Structure 1
Amino acid sequence: MNEFESRRISFFEQMSDNSLAIFSSSDEKVRNNDSEYRFRQSSDFLYLSGLNEPDACLVLVKTEDAQKSILFNRAKDRLEEIWHGYRLGQKAAVSDLYFDQAYQIDELLEKLPLLLNGIDTIYFPIFQDEKLEIVLKEVMTEMRGDKRKGVIAPHQFIDSLPILHEMRLIKSEAEIALLSEAAEISAAGHIRAMQACRPGMWEYQLQSEVEYEFAQQGTRDIAYNSIVAGGENACILHYTNNNRQLRDGQLVLIDAGAEYQGYAGDITRTFPVNGHFSEHQAMLYQLVLDIQVRAISQVRPGATLFDINQNVIKQMVDGLIELGIMEGDPDELIAQEAYKDFYMHGIGHYLGLDVHDVGEYGTKDNPRLLEPGMVVTIEPGLYISHDADVDDVWKKIGIRIEDDVLVTESGGDVLTADVPKSINEIEALMADA
């Protein structure tokens, strides 16, 4: 729990004197009628608090003399706990989560004006949390109305997200350990899928094999909705219907990741349903694999995802020309963005508590430099739909290969290396199964 306390201290260090920061938890969300979806905490709130319960607010107060962390959360309630499960309560918030004070969430509107009186600045996620903004509006209106009674309301409002998201971008040793575990669990799921896959299976059946293995390895949570896309479905980048039958001779693309203690794994592998790549499938697959391996080798401090992606585009266009799928001058094709018919997304993204994690990427003219402690995905893809203007032998094939890479002082450490991705390794694994 000292991990969460140290994060709050780091946030305190970036607050101005005589200020208050406030963050709220996620709410339970209704699935239908009186049934809720399984609760998932706000990543920002979880990062600072360690609390995995709804109906909570975290308040940080910094004055010239002291700094104080306060949690408002649900009260202990024996009947509610019989029906719906354990609640942390206020005593445990102090003893277990290292808050200085804890109050019941029902006391927030009473306590917050007292905490804000005389405070100059409020930090909160502007335009991000409508419910919290309603609370702050109510409190500020009350305080401004009481100024003749000597109440002094805050007069400066600062968005807390840039500070918090910059903190989240660079992972601590504890976070790297959790991300490594999420990566290993995710890898086991993909290996199981390769071993279980057979022509005639349905996409959702293969999905169940992946997610079953996640549970067997220690987590019931997924980092995002799993993609299991056979044949041309792989040309739909975020395909999640997973309701088609897998056919002999097709490739299947699986993009799935486990979530372990809030941290995401994110792996994509593409392999033949019947265990054997056809000649043309192998040619396309090898092109994507060569591109991915080279891109991973370029991950290091001082590199940028933008520059890596530009190199990927150049290698992709050269490879497609060599295969006869594109024609023309490579530089002109790149300038015209003709490659976007086949490769329309970027090379990767940050990874952490969110699968598409927070943090600034910079601009095209001034891209963000990679730093040790960042975790990124490297995921080139090649997608040739049924209506592409190419020879029929290439059509209805979608390939993506994705790994999670930790930026270290000396380069990139692939956290998801356990999953085979060479043609020989995949075919051997599937044959052994």
Structure 2
Amino acid sequence: MYHIRMVPLRLGSRIVTKLMRRSLCETRARYSAVDTPPDVKVKASVIPKGIFGQPTCHTHPHLIAEGHLTCGITPHEFKERRDRLVEKLTSVPNHAHKTHVIVIPAARKQFMSDKIPYVFRQNSDFFYLTGCMEPAAVLVMVKYEPDSFYKTTLFVHEKDSHAELWEGPRTGCSAAARLFSVDEARPVENFSSFLHRLTATSKPAVVWYQNEEPPNPDLHDTIQFSLKQAHISLDDPQLALHQMRVIKSPAEIQLLKEACYIGSQSVNLAMACTKPGTSEHAISSVLEYAARCGGAQHAAFPPVVAGGTRATHIHYVANDQILNDGDMLLVDSGCQRWLYNSDISRTWPVSGTFSKHHRILYELVLSVQKRLIELLNEQRPALDTLFDHMCRLLGTHLQQEGIFPKNLDNQELIGKAYRVCPHHVSHYLGLDVHDAPLVRRRTPIASGMLVTVEPGIYIRPDDESIPPEFRGVGIRVEDDVLITDKGVEVLTESCVKEVRDIEAIVGTQAT
């Protein structure tokens, strides 16, 4: 049994002061000029006044700018997304001259046990098209051929004083149409009869619906029943949606910059709080504390805080051990700001000073990561091609350091490099941590994409093919990189990663 040392966070710390200096109002003011083009500025009167099922610019002016529906994003942008999706789906050749019924469900509440809910997280596709944060809602868009327009109906929970007594305010149908800029809003209880009538009278028709792994299983049987009764074709809108989502708008980029800045400062603070005897759990708590104070709603995912040999387990999230002098600490964390995520990995010595062999491995990984970012800037390779570059670079560097044998041919070297870094080097980032998963990583890189660059080395303690002084170590360096017309921009650059900077910051937070 051991005693967990608490790490108090003194607000006089230089790092904490830097983290807190930029208030949420200052951050929003900094970006408000580029959130919306001048010709589509939305007047505050477009957003109705009242207490609804989510924050508005009237109830939470410290979070949402005037005329915006959610933090940084206007009703116009959400409507523009719906317009683009309808255009993409209705232009699919094998569905020409049909009525298109697009059904996008929100997420439902989920429970840990009995009446204890998890923190609600909206379905990314639904949020992307509506900005609505309420659970169990449904977006339906209908376009009749050859009409040039489509109709949008949003199904939400109606006002209910008893339910609102326990769960908080609801928007209700009368306000939802104006708040979310849709043609009409109806009670969610009426969705089943609405869809049944629609599919029965709209032939030939195609229903666009995520049939595999539906966001709200409670609605799935209703939708399946309507389809079977009407003998209407079914298709999935997700690929088109993900192709849209992978290219970020200016407003999305600003939210991602904020998430990356907040996440970077939380990792810097975690470094400062690291000393021998500190627990992984305490460092995990620092990450969450700093992110929330900086303006994030919560973590993007359960963080990895892995000391010593535990860092060789790529998804170690127990975070329940003590950090010892001589250990390296691998942290993989991120935060979520209005559903937009950051994803950062850093590795540092618990003592504050790299040992000779740890420094060799760390600088090797850092060198590979920097070269991969340069390649993104110079060549814009697809992410799968970037992964091939990583394997070659890792293998060559490890061979040059004498960690891999000299007598390996090129393919053997790449294979051995893959065994010490068995994960991909990059993924798209946005509303989901692994964003737009239906967009293949062999897709050409384009401006507006945000990707991670995260090479690593994981050498198990029992790997006898590696010299013993390098065994039992896991190292990863991960940054979030925005692709622009002018090159690449590392959004997590404020998170320290040079050896001299790490050694200067680790352990400096008073305990």
TM-score normalised by structure 2 residue count: 0.79
Amino acid at match of 2:160: D
Deviation of the 1:52 alpha carbon: 1.0
Name which of 442, 447, 452 aligns with 1:372: 447
Mapped partners of 2:476, 2:380: distance in 1: 26
Residues 1:49 and 2:134 are matched in the alignment = no
Q: How does 1:33-44 map to 2 (within 5 A)?
A: 33-44=114-125
What is the CA RMSD across the aligned residues, in angstroms?
1.6
Match of 1:149 in 2: none
Identical columns (%)? 34
CA shift digits 1:105-134 (9 cap, x unpaired): 011112122333224111111212144431
Structure 1 residue 391: Cα displacement:
2.2
Residue 262 to residue 136, structure 1, CA distance change in 2 (3 Å): same
Per the alignment, residue 461 of structure 2 pairs with: 386
Distance 2:306 2:363 in 1: 19
Distance 1:99 1:351, change over 3 A: same
Residue identity matched to 1:39: F
Q: Does 1:397 align with 2:473?
A: yes
The partner residue of 2:286 within 209, 215, 220 is: 209
Which residue type is aligned with residue 321 of structure 1?
A: Q
Partner Cα distance (1:299, 1:320) in 2: 22
Query: Is 1:89 paired with 2:172?
Result: yes
Cα drift, residue 220 of structure 1: 3.0
Partner of 2:429: 351
Q: Tell me how far 1:360 sits from its aligned partner.
A: 4.3
Corresponding position of 2:86: 12
Which residue in 1 is equivalent to 2:404? 326
One-letter amino acid matched to 1:348: S
Corresponding residue to 1:118 among 202, 212, 216: 202
Is the 2:275–2:506 Cα contact (8 Å) retained in structure 1? no
Structure 2, unpaired ranges of 5+: 1-74, 91-97
Asked if residue 133 in structure 1 is aligned to residue 220 in structure 2, the reply is yes
> Is the CA contact 1:122–1:154 (under 8 Å) kept in the aligned structure 2?
no
- Whether 1:79 and 2:169 are equivalent positions in the alignment is no
Partners of 2:506 and 2:336 in 1: CA distance: 26
Q: 2: CA distance between counterparts of 1:361 and 1:279?
A: 42
Does 2:235 align with 1:158? Answer: yes
Task: Letter of the 1:232 partner, please give it.
Answer: T
Q: Tell me: CA distance 1:42–1:368, structure 2 relative to 1, closer, same or farther (3 Å).
A: same
How far residue 102 of structure 1 moved from its aligned partner, in angstroms, is 0.3
- Deviation, 1:432, is 4.7
- CA offsets per residue over residues 389-425 of structure 1, 9 Å max, x none? 1222111110000000011113211010000101001
- Paired with 1:201 and 1:302, the residues of 2 have a C-alpha distance of 41
Q: Which residue in 1 is equivalent to 2:340?
A: 263
Q: Deviation digits for residues 12-43 of structure 1, max 9, x if unmatched?
A: 11232521100111111110122111111111
* SS of structure 1 residue aligned to 2:305: strand
Deviating more after overlay: 158-167 vs 250-259: 158-167
Q: For 2:364, give the aligned amino acid.
A: L
- Partner-residue secondary structure (3-state), 2:425: coil
Contact 2:271 2:507 in 1 (8 A): no
One-letter amino acid of the counterpart of residue 212, structure 2: F
C-alpha distance 5-361 of structure 1, shift in aligned 2 (>3 A): closer
1:140: Cα distance to partner? 3.2
What CA distance in whole angstroms lies between the structure 2 residues aligned with 1:361 and 1:137? 26
C-alpha separation in 2, matches of 1:91 and 1:295? 52
Is 2:493 the partner of 1:417?
Answer: yes
How many residue pairs get aligned? The number is 419
Deviation at 1:274, TM superposition (A): 1.2
Contact 1:251 1:270 in 2 (8 A): yes
